[in-house]
């Protein structure tokens, strides 16, 4: 029994090391060699594996600790029953942070079914844009005040997979690289309201029907369909 536990622990540690190495190599591909030594030292200082529940709690706590800005790349998947409670808490966090003057910005992959979450976050005061950048499709992260990074890891690859665990990394080097990539994708992405108008035009669906399909406020889609 002890031998089995030891094997499982070794596999967990190995998996964590490999995932972290993959993230670092991915970020290096953005700006190869930039701040390399500093980044390796900072990431190596403290990296903690988080379970799914811990991941969302860490996201919410880290957001509330922000003084200036929170930026992130998220899946924006429509949540199930359990996920809806977490999204509700995140919406409340966004409202509180906006009340303190903290900027909140999210990038979401360009898929029509992601409008539901985008609508909730936008109503709460976050700036939301839809992107087809590769990093937005492949990587889930949150950067808090350019100091902390929370990385979300899916159980399997793919932008439709739920986040199962994560890493909290106190690294200004990694935060800086991710934020630089975020800015580049942000400038090339479509704001929430413009994206909704694109979907309305592309589908030709009546706003109230699309609102029912996407579980979005029908009045909001009616307003956007009129261009106001």
> Among candidates 56, 61, 50, 78, which has minimal Cα distance to 168?
50
Q: Do 128 and 202 belong to one domain?
A: no
Structural domain range at position 216: 190-228
- Please report, for the chain, how many H helices and E strands are present, in that order: 10, 8
Q: Do 130 and 82 belong to one domain?
A: yes
Q: Do 22 and 116 belong to one domain?
A: yes
The Cα–Cα gap between 190 and 148 comes to: 26
The pTM is what? 0.74
Residues 28-44 pLDDT 10s: 555 554 554 555 445 44
pLDDT at site 4: 43
Residues 70-120 pLDDT 10s: 999 998 888 887 778 889 999 999 999 999 999 999 999 999 999 999 999
Residues 158-206 pLDDT 10s: 444 555 567 788 888 888 888 998 999 999 999 999 999 999 998 888 8
Q: Do 59 and 156 belong to one domain?
A: yes
Question: The domain spanning residue 132 has which CATH number?
Answer: 3.30.870.10
Q: Do 49 and 151 belong to one domain?
A: yes
Tokens of 4: 């089995």
Q: Tell me the percentage of the chain whose pLDDT exceeds 90.
A: 33
Q: Do 137 and 214 belong to one domain?
A: no
Residues 199-222 pLDDT 10s: 999 888 888 888 898 888 889 889
Does residue 97 or residue 151 have the better pLDDT? 97
Q: Do 132 and 79 belong to one domain?
A: yes
Q: Do 131 and 211 belong to one domain?
A: no
- According to the 3-state scheme, what is the secondary structure of 198-228? HHHHHHCCCHHHHHHHHCCCHHHHHHHHCCC
Count of domains observed in the chain: 2
Confidence band, pLDDT 50/70/90 cuts, at residue 5: very low
């Amino acid at each position: 029994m002890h031998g089995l536990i030891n094997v499982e622990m070794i596999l967990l540690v190995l998996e964590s090391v490999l995932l972290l190495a993959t993230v670092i190599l991915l970020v290096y591909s953005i700006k190869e060699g930039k701040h390399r030594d500093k980044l390796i030292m900072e990431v190596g200082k403290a990296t903690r594996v988080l379970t799914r529940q811990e991941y969302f709690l860490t996201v919410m706590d880290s957001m509330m600790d922000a003084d200036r800005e929170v930026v992130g790349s998220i899946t924006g998947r429509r949540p199930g029953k359990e996920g809806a409670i977490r999204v509700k808490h995140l919406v409340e966090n966004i409202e509180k942070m906006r009340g303190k003057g903290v900027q909140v910005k999210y990038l979401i992959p360009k898929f029509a079914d992601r409008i539901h979450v985008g609508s909730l976050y936008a109503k709460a005061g976050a700036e939301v844009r839809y992107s087809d950048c590769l990093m937005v499709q492949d990587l889930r992260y949150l950067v808090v005040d350019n100091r902390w990074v929370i990385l979300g890891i899916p159980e399997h690859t793919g932008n439709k997979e739920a986040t199962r665990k994560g890493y909290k990394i106190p690294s200004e080097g990694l935060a800086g690289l991710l934020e630089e990539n975020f800015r580049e994708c942000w400038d090339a992405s479509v704001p929430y309201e413009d994206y909704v108008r694109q979907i309305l035009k592309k589908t030709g669906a009546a706003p109230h029907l699309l609102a029912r399909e996407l579980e979005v406020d029908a009045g909001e889609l009616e307003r956007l369909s009129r261009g106001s």
